[in-house]
Amino acid sequence: MADLPDVRFLTVAEVADLMRVSKMTVYRLVHAGELPAVRFGRSYRVPESAVTAALQRPAADVG
């Protein structure tokens, strides 16, 4: 079995809190492909690195 990188996943609620947006906005970003996410059952998890990258982009490029 290959070693997985140390990836930390955040819930949609955690991402919304970090980005200071609503959960609906996070869902929109995920569905638009602007924020990568993995689906676990009925919920989504977003890699912490993707949130960090999104927060570092100029505001006009996000959402």
DSSP secondary structure of 31-54: HTTSS--EEETTEEEEEHHHHHHH
10 DSSP assignment:
E
Q: Which residue has the higher pLDDT, 6 or 10?
A: 10
pLDDT higher than 80, residue 32: yes
pLDDT higher than 80, residue 17: yes
pLDDT higher than 90, residue 3: no
Overall average pLDDT of the 13-38 stretch:
96
Overall average pLDDT of the 17-26 stretch:
96
Residue 40 has phi, psi (to 5 degrees) of -115, 105
pLDDT higher than 70, residue 4: no
Overall average pLDDT of the 42-57 stretch:
93
Contacts of residue 19, Cβ cutoff 8 Å, sequence gap at least 6: 25, 26, 51, 54, 55
